[in-house]
Structure 1
């Protein structure tokens, strides 16, 4: 307490106690693959803010790009602003070993990353490595964009998960019209004719999203047309939608900048097979061009996280609340603390609701925050815990737009506004 000596009026600034919770970034990507110069910074994480930096560090004297370089180019072309890159070198692993970690293992310590992709790696082992990374209980703050194999004769094979140890896709690489470098596989599991299982496994929490088919683009390194897995371009589309509309907007019905054509023109009938299985299609529409025409995760059909934007919005809220309430640790666990928690989280979610991310005409309809004696009984407090229950009502995309038309025998009459 200040010791006042002379009579008079004294004005003090008193902190309000409110602590603002800011939204974390949702558009920083992490890419794994082989760079044009396969010896450049192997098994090392590098952060990039533009395509020129990638060229300076990873292209060198190479005359042909790779799926990694094309993905990074597509990311920045479509609106991405920052990414992390790991060059695993020729024949490298997506995970590495305990003695020599690489790939997704190097991303574990980077909290900024919210999107992960390994362009062109589309077999069961790659799917497993990426899914294990994003679903780890200590993370669950990011999503993985998965690629399908380039050549798929039967789209139904993408609805069934590939099995580890069996062929499940082609290796990354190749020019358009010339096939791809690497081993060619057919996805057969018992010698029977046709492909059987080329898809990604289900993600119960919706932490992965699968896109089909590959795109055709101009390799910025060689200047030639090449076929390219779409994950890097899709990461850029996600980042662009985040910046222009918000993470709550489904990253679909969006153009893919730099995509000249598709390896396969998906029909409506084929998408009717793929969409319920969580395979997002990229389609061509006359007059509109190439567009992302799906917004589902690999969560089960009945899951509340079956839409990409719902999963990513939830991730953003979780991470933002965790970062913005770190001051709570070691505070006295009493009514004053509970009130402060309700106030800060409530203010944050109100802003999220105002951005259009939560459903409801009032904040009370859009969310609730409960932190009181009921959520924190004596046994919880004795364990050193403070428990807050948060409920949100995220908006979901209008995936199926239905118009019901009928004929009327009566003439339609329009009343004048001033009548």
Structure 2
């Protein structure tokens, strides 16, 4: 309390009420690849807000720029609803995985929530992008499946092939030479920090509209992620969405082929006669029995973790007592209640959707003596209705229909 020495009336501003937790952005992408002009701003994260800006920067200095997978991905990103991305211009796969050259320069950009290396489909590239996202724990990887349509025969057998390669003494050699199917599907990410999509799409070359080319889908998918986040929220699975700019697919996956690919975490881009070309999968590279098998669940938890971490920095060095515990519980509960009202959490009441515990049980004397304050949070995320089943039976009085989701 201040010292009052002179008689009079004093008016003070007293901080009270909750400190609102704001949700962080989830749609900023980071692309690493070869630009049309490979010599421009190499190994530097460049913020890009439009396709025109990308061409002004990375297409400059070339009389007639040649298309690249990176250019196709950035074009597809903005075409499908993306608003902001970072581009890192690197020359080859060695620089992609090099320290402070490719993916490494994105580590300092907290804004990035989606990472892709368009066109890089080798086991080393897959592992590099996944390892980057697993290290950062605040972003997910979108990986391109194999470029050739013939790979579908190996992809449908990928589980058995990967097991054989892992048991083989020269498994590394097989993966590098492409003799096995191990390189066709990226490795597992147990915490679900990545998703892979197959096949590549066919569309107009963004640098030559008269030419139809085969393009990696990762950039278009990153735009779809951003579009779904803006229209529905990060909790909505970015699937059953139209791929803008896709005029065809390099391979038309059948229903039976997807029945083998989907359990292995390979998301298919399907052509439907009436609905057009759509994203028809929302799985991560986590095991099928994992709680992280859906990409929207992984991205929702990424957003919640990052939002709470950024908005509760005021807690640091505060007195670790009951007042602080109540303030933390109040602020986090208010944030999660808002998510529940938006449909991101499952439950008819907030109590069913989440819990927040910060009290003497989570903060005993030994924890407080260590300078720590521990808050336990539990969430019940909404998961996609991946399989919609209509059970139809004929009754005595007519037809009975039961709908299950």
TM value normalised by structure 1: 0.88
Residues 394, 129 of structure 1: alpha-carbon distance in 2 compared, 3 angstrom cutoff: same
> Are positions 1:236 and 2:235 aligned together?
no
- Distance (whole Å) between structure 2 residues aligned to residue 94 and residue 13 of structure 1: 53
1:45 paired with 2:45, answer: yes
Note the residue ranges of structure 2 that are not aligned, 5 or more in a row. 166-170, 401-405
1:64–1:219: 8 Å Cα contact kept in structure 2? no
Looking at structure 2, the residues matched to 132 and 92 of structure 1 have their Cα atoms a distance apart, in angstroms, of: 15
Report the counterpart of residue 339 of structure 2 in structure 1. Answer: 352
Which residue of 2 is the match for residue 417 of structure 1?
Answer: none
Please say if 1:409 is aligned against 2:400.
no
CA distance in 2 between partners of 1:145 and 1:77 (Å): 17
CA contact (8 A) 1:158 1:279 kept: no
C-alpha distance in 1 between matches for 2:189 and 2:373: 30
**Compared with structure 1, are the counterparts of its residues 23 and 107 closer, same or farther at alpha carbon in structure 2 (3 Å cutoff)?**
same
Q: 1:54-133 alignment to 2 at 5 Å?
A: 54-60=54-60, 61=62, 62-90=64-92, 92-97=94-99, 101-133=100-132
2-structure distance, mates of 1:310, 1:53: 33
Q: Does 1:30 align with 2:30?
A: yes
Question: What's 1:218 paired with?
Answer: 204
CA RMSD of aligned residues (A): 1.9
Q: Cα distance, 1:103 vs. partner?
A: 1.0
- The whole-number CA distance in structure 1 between the counterparts of 2:128 and 2:371 is 35
Distance 1:91 1:309, change over 3 A: closer
What SS is found at the alignment partner of 2:261? helix
Which range moves more in the overlay, 54-63 or 127-136? 54-63
- How far is 1:411 from its partner? 5.2
Q: Distance in 1 between matches of 2:399 and 2:376?
A: 52
Q: Does 1:209 align with 2:206?
A: no
What secondary structure sits across from 2:127 in the alignment?
helix
1:279 corresponds, among 266, 276, 292, to 266
Question: What's the secondary structure of 1:403's corresponding residue?
Answer: strand
Aligned to 1:142: 139
> How far does the alpha carbon of each residue in 1:183-211 deviate from its partner, in whole angstroms, 9 at most, with x for none?
xx7x214xxxxx56511111110001010
Q: TM-score, normalised by structure 2?
A: 0.91
5+ residue gaps, structure 1, are 169-184, 190-194, 414-419
> How many residues are matched?
385
CA distance in 2, matches of 1:252, 1:274: 16
1:36–1:382 Cα change, 3 Å: same
- 1:4 & 1:59 partners in 2: Cα distance? 70
| Structure with the largest fraction of helix | 2
